[in-house]
Copies of this chain bind each other. A is one copy, B any other.
Amino acid sequence: MLGRGIWSSVRQGLSRGLSRKVGAWALGEGRRVDIAGIYPPVTTPFTATAEVDYEKLEENLHKLGTLPFRGFVVQGSNGEFPFLTSSERLEVVSRVRQAMPKDKLLLAGSGCESTQATVEMTVSMAQVGADVAIVVTPCYYRGRMSSAALIHHYTKVADLSPIPVVLYSVPANTGLDLPVDAVVTLSQHPNIVGIKDSGGDVTKMGLLVHKTRRQDFQVLAGSAGFLLASYAVGAVGGVCALANVLGAQVCQLERLCLTGQWEDAQKLQHRLIEPNTAVTRRFGIPGLKKTMDWFGYYGGPCRAPLQELSPTDEEALHMDFSSNGWL
């Protein structure tokens, strides 16, 4: 683990040169960082022997860096963060910081199961260059993760984080849907700037936008499958696994939505649903990485216990792209 004492870490984090990324909150400007836009949740490349392949990571970043993304999410669920050691998690963020264009945002996943570990990881993420921390709900004790417990957890993290915090709800992985009332309460915290919601429930997303309208709180869609619908109800962007392979198209969908070209947006959205499902719910990260190989990025293997796709699955994956005109 990172340090012996959380408080010393926090103190170090606050005293060290965090000036670059110290946002509106710390400076008391009263305006939050603008996170609107599209982000690919970057995958973590591994070598054949399951070591992190930092060179391939940088190569991917250089390619992705030419697209009009707002920034990059590192160690969202697609980054296989539960399979990385703490030092790997930090090293990956550090390398992405170096490899990515200076004008883009780096959102780093810093969620751990305990509040203490999450605070430490968040501080460390800031130290290695993250602009924003994106914090998944703790979930192993989901039966006890009441709104009160989650509010307590995120408040502590946001209080101690030197960088702005984005909430992250991803029920398919955590078995836990961050409740509306908890989000509304947390939206009032000056250092919590938004939420990435991967649940796909646009009724909930619309309600979040509505009930946080006085808080300058920003909602990001957690998937390209419901990106258009999310914009329609007031989301300001998306973190989309599919953007790792069809990045230009996802950004085009964003542009069509922002400029009110809803008919063209709808046509494009339709063609992205099956490919999106294929690289998320249907075939998971193995599917995403396989597709990256097809689209000129480095995908490579996952760490175990994630398994390679079977030939049959690979064929079905290919069909999900080709039948929509992308391969």
Q: Is A318 an interface residue (CB 8 A)?
A: no
Whether B1 contacts A303 by the Cβ 8 Å rule is no
Question: Does A48 make an interface contact (CB < 8 A)?
Answer: no
| 18 pairs, CB–CB < 8 Å, chain A vs chain B | A77-B141, A82-B140, A83-B117, A114-B305, A116-B304, A141-B284, A143-B172, A143-B281, A144-B306, A149-B306, A175-B175, A203-B276, A206-B266, A207-B274, A210-B273, A229-B230, A229-B232, A232-B232
**Beta-carbon contact of B1 and A269 below 8 Å:** no
Q: Take A85-B117, A203-B225 as given contacts and tell me if A307 and B266 are in contact as well, using a CB distance cutoff of 8 Å.
A: no
Question: CA separation between A31 and B207, bound complex, in Å?
Answer: 38
The segment from A54-62, A150-158, A241-249, A291-299 that touches chain B is A150-158
For residue A100, which residues in chain B have a CB less than 8 angstroms away from its CB? none
* In the bound complex, CA of A271 to CA of B207 (Å): 8
The residue of chain B having its C-beta at the shortest distance from the C-beta of A210 within the complex is B270
Residue of A50, A262, A265, A306 with highest tally of chain B CB at under 10 A: A306
Chain B positions within 8 Å of A307 at CB level: 144, 146, 148-149, 152
Cβ of A69 < 8 Å from any Cβ of B? no
- Residues of chain B within 8 A (CB-CB) of A228 are 206, 232-233
- Complex alpha-carbon distance, A175 and B88, angstroms: 27
A229 to B1 CA separation, bound complex (whole angstroms):
42
CB of A260 within 8 Å of the partner chain: yes
Interface of A: prevailing SS = helix
Q: Contact: B304 with A152, CB < 8 Å?
A: yes
Tell me if A34 is interfacial: C-beta within 8 Å of chain B: no
- A203-B200 contact, Cβ under 8 Å, with A144-B284, A152-B304, A284-B144: yes
Q: Please tell me which one of the listed residues B50, B138, B140, B207 contacts residue A273 in the complex, with CB atoms under 8 A apart.
A: B207
Q: What residues on B are CB-neighbors of A86 within 8 Å?
A: 1
Q: Which residue of B lies closest to A145 (CB)?
A: B305
Q: With both chains docked as a complex, state the minimum distance between the C-beta of A261 and any C-beta of chain B, in angstroms.
A: 10
Question: Do residues A270 and B207 form an inter-chain contact, with CB atoms below 8 A?
Answer: yes
Against B, the Cβ 8 Å flags (1 = close, 0 = not) of A87-129 are: 1100000000000000000000000011111000000000000
A192-235 Cβ-contact flags toward B at 8 Å (1 or 0): 00000000111100110110010000000001011011101110
Contacting B at CB under 8 A, from A260-315, are: 260, 262, 265-266, 269-271, 273-274, 276-277, 281, 284-286, 303-307
Q: Which of B116, B117, B229 contacts A206 (CB 8 A)?
A: B229
